Structure 1
């Protein structure tokens, strides 16, 4: 008979993951594979944190909308005729049919099943043949709304209506990225999301890991960003994200065979910024890989204990896409980035396989894994506080 995983001892033991790299341990393998832990994690993390869902440019005009999902919750984001940005559940309040798919421009949302019709603001405006239903009042029915915040052009939603604002808790990251003016950066809508058979944290950790870069990616496409030049600034108290800076061997380094920027450099960058790459992370959904001529953004969307979807997008300096040679230069960047990403995806799958093994243990960290410590320090208090609250709500108390 299998012993329960979620115990006081399990959550108390997580504290070692928050120590300095000299003594810290990795999170227990169960955090990446156990279905019960994933259900717990929904409450501990996803139900109360700000979740990135896309870019504001995707809903620039009244009537524009797009759909997405996180932890199995279908979401529609829209721009109303009054120019209000709204995010809602896309679940019809009649028989749970989804009222929107994909993206586009619409006057409202019509459930294809029974033609209940909702405005762009989510309010029910028509429900055919409901006049004989006792007590039915369409004015009291609407698609559930979520809190919305736009940060540097990225749209975040929060299922918790009492959540504190995001921006004050990522002010240090906004300052570090100020020279890139991401709110005004340009880029195409990402291709349809890809699904990956490993835990969302495996992907998030890989995106932020400086330790593997000079090893897994050894060669001319990555050697100009050596792991030994990784720097991990301490996040402020209560921060909602963290940074990694990585020095480069020459200015304006970029992922392509020339190792140098081919696209226009973001015009607001300082000399310091042009001699490093920046990795910015707002868990549990947004990770940014920032170079002097291109930003890769990754929107990681958990959908199971051992799977997630991810939107991968690109941002460039204003005007960059108007260059007649833009597509050719971008192709050079993406050939290199694609080769590196393929290496990452291969090992991510193998890491997930290893985490399922009875021989997987809580490992130790290198100093070049400072971003993993920062991630643990963001995650672990949320786990521990939620477990304590659940135990208290169940009337069982929590040992001191």
Structure 2
């Protein structure tokens, strides 16, 4: 039964009884490619994803297994842990992770669970000389090796060298950190393709992250990604903010790598509200970067905004089919950060982000509420949503299998 065919009397009965209305019907054969054939059509003939793709626990678990545990996932900037012993712990799709900088200055990533009985070791962020489990005091060096295991002296055949923390692949590109849970996946540079070369003129390696802000949102991760990668919503959702910025929207950029993106041609920084003035342009910009802003999405869920004077990112940590964490990071060239008026001028950029991002957050949560309705049926794409169609098919290629 399609979710749009649920009997209205069933909904009315549950409401009369004071219960929540039924959720959309999810087919038992949810991974049958036939359900997704309408999404596979060309943009202006295609339908949007079925609602269950945004609320189903089974669909989400398949996304975790076939996407997030196999690809390179962005986890912030290396300057968040600048000194030996600095660490940050977080959860990513159900995996406790700790990032740290070891004594030699190398950034490492480990599964943040003790090899004894699985207790989470580190929490929050800070600086440490070693990682000590709060349960039985098993202690690990910054290289992940087990250094101390009190009480294990009489355990037969126990060798500390066999019980190091489980490492997670980690790599960086110009200060941006990525982790990968699959030891057999391709390398980060191959995954990114021509993206580093395309955006080399922004000189990210010389940038400094000056602000991180986190939001806990009640929406599916795809809802937020889709919204970020289309401009169709701007006149309505951002009518009093971003819509006042004059821009010329170009076709999606051609990509050779696991990314896609938008480009807009305009005058003035997209990181400011209309009428505000800010910092000077990044001096190393060339070509189209001097004439507008790029908005690349690194699949599956990392969005950058690259404008004349700075960049900011949208980093998503999925937390289930209907929840996610959003992390917004803001970077400026080191020479800009060293200006005497930096804090004063930065306030204008913060005002822009703190007005426009909550607008996207609110509409994404509203969309999630609608997708949970028993009567929500697939819609159609407009010509202003080409990358939503690309994103949805990228997901289906991995969750369902490549289109035939």
Runs of 4+ deviating beyond 4 Å:
1-4
1:64 aligns with one of 83, 86, 101: 86
Aligned to 2:260: 242
* 1:246-325 correspondence runs (5 A): 246-248=264-266, 250-260=267-277, 262-270=278-286, 272-325=288-341
Q: Distance in 2 between matches of 1:358 and 1:280?
A: 34
Equivalent residues, number: 382
| 1:203 is the counterpart of 2:224 | yes
Matched with 2:158 is: 136
Q: For 1:98-121, what per-residue CA distance to the aligned partner results, in whole angstroms no more than 9, with x for missing partners?
A: 111122222210111211000112
Q: CA RMSD in A?
A: 2.3
1:330 matched to which residue of 2? 346
CA deviation string 1:71-119 (max 9, x = no partner): 1211011122233321110111112221111222222101112110001
* 2: CA distance, partners of 1:234 / 1:12: 29
Q: Deviations over 1:176-195 (max 9, x none)?
A: 3222111221122524x321
Compute the TM-score of the two structures, normalised by the length of structure 2.
0.88
CA contact (8 A) 2:244 2:274 kept: no
Q: Does the aligned pair in 2 maintain the 1:18–1:376 contact within 8 Å?
A: no
User: Are 1:361 and 2:377 an aligned pair?
Assistant: yes
Query: Whole-Å Cα distance in 1 between the matches of residues 264 and 37 of structure 2?
Result: 28
**1:3: Cα distance to partner?**
6.9
Give ranges in structure 1 of 5+ residues lacking alignment: 389-399
Residues 113 and 53 (structure 1 numbering): CA distance in 2 closer, same or farther, change over 3 Å? same
- Aligned residue in 2 for 1:395: none
Among candidates 234, 240, 249, match of residue 213 of structure 1: 234
TM-score by length of 1: 0.89
Show the counterpart of 1:392.
Answer: none
SS at match of 1:107: coil
Cα shift readout 1:198-231 (whole Å, capped 9, x = no counterpart): 11111111221221123321246433244x6242
Task: Give the aligned partner of residue 14 of structure 2.
Answer: none
Q: Aligned partners of 1:234 and 1:219: how far apart in 2?
A: 31
The CA distance in 1 between the partners of 2:215 and 2:235, in whole Å, is: 26
1:136-163 per-residue CA deviation (whole Å, 9 max, x = no partner) reads 2211001111111112321111111001
Checking the alignment, whether the CA contact within 8 Å between 1:286 and 1:298 is kept in structure 2 is yes
Q: Does 1:232 align with 2:248?
A: no
Return the alpha-carbon distance in structure 2 between the equivalents of residues 38 and 180 of structure 1. Answer: 35
Of residues 188, 191, 212, the one that matches 1:190 is 212
Name the SS for the 1:338 alignment partner: helix
SS of 2:210's equivalent in the other structure is: coil
SS of the aligned residue for 1:195 comes to: strand
Q: Give the match's secondary structure for 1:44.
A: helix
Q: Is the 2:234–2:243 contact (alpha carbons within 8 Å) kept by the matching residues of 1?
A: yes
1:378 alignment partner, one of 394, 397, 403? 394
Does the 8 Å CA contact 1:225/1:247 hold for their aligned counterparts?
A: no
- The change in CA–CA distance for 1:16 and 1:149 in structure 2 (over 3 A counts) is farther
Q: Secondary structure at the match of 1:375?
A: helix
Range with greater deviation from structure 2 (10-19 or 321-330): 10-19
Instruction: Provide the residue aligned with 2:7 in structure 1.
Output: none
| Distance in 2, Cα, partners of 1:311 & 1:9 | 31
Alignment of 1:79-94 (within 5 A): 79-94=101-116
User: Offset at 1:4?
Assistant: 5.7
